[in-house]
Amino acid sequence: MKKKLNKTIIATCLILVFPFIACDDYMEVSPYGSVSEETLATKAGVTNLLTGAYSLIDGVNGSFFWGDNSNWLFSDMASHEATRGSTSNANITFFEAHTILPTHEYVEKKWDGCYDGIQRANDVLRILPKVSEKELPAGEATQIKAEAMFIRGLLHYELAKTWKNVPYIDETVIYNSDYLVPNTDRVYPKIEADFQFAADNLAATKSDAGRANSWAAKSFLAVVQMQQGKYSEALPLLTDIVTNGVTASGDKYALVPNYWDNFKASTENNSESVFAVQYTVNDGASGINGNQGRLLGQPVVPPCAGGGSSTVSFSTVNAFKTDPGTGLPLPDTYNDSDITNDMGLAESAPFTPYTGTLDPRLDLTVGRRDIPLLDWGLMRRSWGPNQLERGCYVLKKFFFYKADLDVNTESFGGWTTINNINYCFIRFADILLRAAECEVETGSLAKAEQYVNMVRARAADPVGWVKTYLDNDPSRGFTDTPAANYFVGLYNGQFTANGQAYARKAVRFERRLELACEGHRFFDLQRWDNGTGYMADELNAVIAHERTTPATFPALQNAVFTKGRNEIYPIPQAQIDLSMKDEESVLVQNPNY
């Protein structure tokens, strides 16, 4: 088994420049702990620089905050898959109320985190030509260059989908030169060029499981093309990836039989992992390198502190209902009523869970009353949020088994739920559903249905379902009895029979189910909107439903998603203020902010 990429932050990486952020006195002296170009112009030096660049693909630069690239705030909360409910932390609730301002702390931090990572990738590209070929053969140098360009492309894409209008910073932009770069140029062609170089030059396999390979680069290239609506260009790439793609370890891309294996540290970097952040704990970094992104929504199970202060929305849970006759989703009627829940019910009171048919991915995504929560026990009210404000569900994805508490978690800043479970930017199920989306838009409806059915067939297989405990005792293991009335059916010619509009809706809804609370939905809706108002209609409908639930959801009472504004985020005001040239900022604020 290939080793996991060591993600420990390289604290002594050379900081050559800041991209275009005003630097003031800081740039007039050498940073503490910095090293010279001459020292780094070696194989070891440039390799360490590359590791330092990898360490920042999570979007976090040595701080504890929620604006990371897993997009728990920027997508899950903003698309109402999850909700804070309470107004006790306005920094968070602004995302679900759609009242983000250019001065928002987390908007600034995400911007900074991405450009810090881009800076490290550019440091690699600046130093690399100075390493002698005798020390670093041309083939190895090309691999390092391609990996650095992959990282630069990934982080620019993260910026572009969040803000759309962002500066593109390459290795030629240096301090004391013309380093103030405008955000009015089209950035996507340059991002595509980075991924194309990486796809053309990276090897198919790598020594570390967490490193980018050629197939990961092709996958991101297709994703970037899709975000621009370039379906016909993305489809051949996706078809090739589905047919021939392999992981960095050389395993053929495939869905793992058990859905939960994508969210468990001991089974990560599997055949479904296209590219993932390699989170680590107990590595001497005091939790900074751990998975922090979704802590607020996770259960509060003794002895774990933190979490429990946000919830999965009622609408997200309702989406997992299935038709009792066909086992297919109910995209038009799923929110007509809420599934049975324990809102307002005492923990000691008897409770009968929903008896209708459900997609089993619900209980692999969400913790709900009296359903086994991994090996912790039956989910109970006290493990969740303040129900009156925030509802009754918790996020189960990216949580960990009680048996793994000591080895796979770490305490940091009062939180004991920081863990080493990877976050997949792209997994193979995502690729299949993207291929289906492209087939719907430019290709074959029958092929699109085939791809969707591949994803649904796993959900229909009882091997991955949540089962009841033996004698209701988690220490005794599990029975073969499903924990709820699970029923998933496959499509059987409906795509072709009912036409493109039906198929499009089915593919989009399948993404909602398969990728729930994984940081995708906001940007999926953004892609599908394309100026039509589709995104506003979808999210305002969810907001309206959440207001009808028994939870008060104070943050949602006046929430409105505004067409032409909230599809992207405001450029940080601090960056506009610091990017002055001839008494005007080179950065232009996004519309209506």
- Of all residues in the chain, the percent with pLDDT exceeding 70 is 91
Contact residues for 432 (Cβ-Cβ < 8 A; gap 6+): 242, 255, 451, 452, 454, 455
Helix (H) or strand (E) holding 476: none
389 — pLDDT class (breaks 50, 70, 90): confident
Q: Coil, strand or helix: which one is 252?
A: strand
Residue 176: the pLDDT is: 65
- pLDDT of residue 506 exceeding 50: yes
Query: Tokens standing for 144?
Result: 């390092």
Q: What is the pLDDT of residue 428?
A: 98
Q: Give the model's confidence band at 22: pLDDT under 50 very low, under 70 low, under 90 confident, else very high.
A: very low
Enumerate the β-bridge partners of residue 486: 358
Going from the C-alpha of 79 to that of each of 336, 363, 417, 538, the distances in angstroms are 19, 20, 24, 9
Give the model's pLDDT for residue 288: 79
The more confident residue out of 406 and 169 is: 169
pLDDT tops 70 at residue 24: no
pLDDT of residue 62: 66
Q: Which pLDDT band holds residue 529 (cuts at 50, 70, 90)?
A: very high
Q: What number is the average pLDDT over the span 117-140? A: 96
Statement: residue 174 has pLDDT above 60: yes
Residue 318: partners with Cβ closer than 8 Å, 6 or more residues away: 334, 335, 337, 338, 339
Q: pLDDT higher for 238 or 24?
A: 238
Residue position matching structure tokens 């599990």 = 478
Helix ranges restricted to H, 338-466: 362-365, 387-390, 428-442, 445-460
Please say if the pLDDT value at position 307 is more than 80: no
Q: What is the spatial distance between Cα 579 and Cα 585, in angstroms, rounded to a whole number?
A: 5
| pLDDT surpasses 80 at 227 | yes
Q: Is pLDDT of 285 > 50?
A: yes
Q: What amino acid occupies position 14?
A: L
Calculate mean pLDDT across residues 507-530. 97
- The model's confidence at residue 291, banded by pLDDT at 50, 70 and 90, is confident
Nearest partner of 278 among 2, 57, 517, judged by Cα? 57
User: pLDDT of 71-95, one tens digit each?
Assistant: 999 999 999 999 886 667 778 889 9
Say what the pLDDT of residue 306 is: 66
Q: For residue 349, how many other CB atoms are within 10 A of its CB?
A: 9
Quote the mean pLDDT of the chain: 90
pLDDT at position 12 over 80? no
Q: Is the pLDDT of residue 18 over 70?
A: no
CA distances (Å), origin 72, targets 69, 140, 179, 291, 311: 8, 36, 32, 11, 12
What single string gives the DSSP state of each residue in 492-537?
-SHHHHH-HHHHHHHHHHHHHHHTTTSS-HHHHHHHHHTTSSHHHH
Please, what is the Cα angle at 86 between 81 and 92, to 5 degrees?
65
d(CA 162, CA 189) in angstroms, rounded, equals 17
Give me 307's structure tokens. 């979490």
Structure confidence at residue 365 (pLDDT)? 97
Amino acid at site 445:
L
Check pLDDT > 70 for residue 1. Answer: no
